[in-house]
Amino acid sequence: MFNLGSMFNLGPSEPVVGKANILMECSAIKVFKYIGEDLFANYPKWSPEVKELEQLGDGPVKLGTIARQVRVDQGHRSESKFRITIYEPYKRLAFAGLSEPFRCIYELQDDRDGKSVKLQFTFELLEIQVFMRPFEPLVRTAVQDGAERTVRNIKRLIESEGAAPS
């Protein structure tokens, strides 16, 4: 396959990473149910850029589950498939792009009494396309802003459920 980047000795780009965390007054069980078990119902809620989300295959969300999503990010429409690569109930959930080079990681750290949990979200854009490299600083800012917005949205949505059982 022809690679314009190699023609100009650009090589692979450095990954673009956005990380954010937030403390929530609920249990890791409740948060994982929202982001893990109920991923297909809730992902478009905390990430409104997701316009279509479809599980490819049957059964509950688990390691290896594959999905197709259509996103509109800052006016740019993209379609991609991803696979659940980590599924550790009440601890970690991760998925990675199959058709695009990205990875999302959600990590939960329960406090000792189980009444609050820290959610850390990491988004990694593993490769920037050559034509986007002049805009890399803007891409990095957008990715970091998106990570921060993601944790705030999840917190707001979960806490708006009020006194729902954890």
Cα gap 21→104, rounded to integer Å: 13
Q: What DSSP string describes 76-133?
A: EEEEEEEEEEEEETTTEEEEEESSSSEEEEEEEEE-TTSS-EEEEEEEEE----GGGG
Is-contact 136 12, C-beta < 8 A?
Answer: no
Reference 121, options 140, 103, 98, 99; nearest CA is 103
The pLDDT value recorded for residue 66 is 98
Q: What is the pLDDT of residue 6?
A: 41
* Domain definitions of the chain by residue range: 18-159
Per-residue pLDDT tens digits of the chain, which is 166 residues long: 444 444 444 555 688 899 999 999 999 999 999 999 999 999 999 999 999 999 999 999 999 999 999 999 878 899 999 999 999 999 999 999 998 899 999 999 988 777 899 999 999 988 877 777 787 888 889 889 999 999 999 999 999 875 444 4
Cα 104 from chain centroid (whole Å):
4
Output the six-digit token pair for 165: 């059982």
User: What does CATH list as the number for 18-159?
Assistant: 3.30.530.20
Q: DSSP letters of 29-83?
A: HHHHIIIIITHHHHHHHH-TTEEEEEEESSSS--TT-EEEEEEEETTEEEEEEEE
Say what the pLDDT of residue 10 is.
55
Residues with Cβ within 8 Å of residue 52, at least 6 apart in sequence: 68, 69, 70
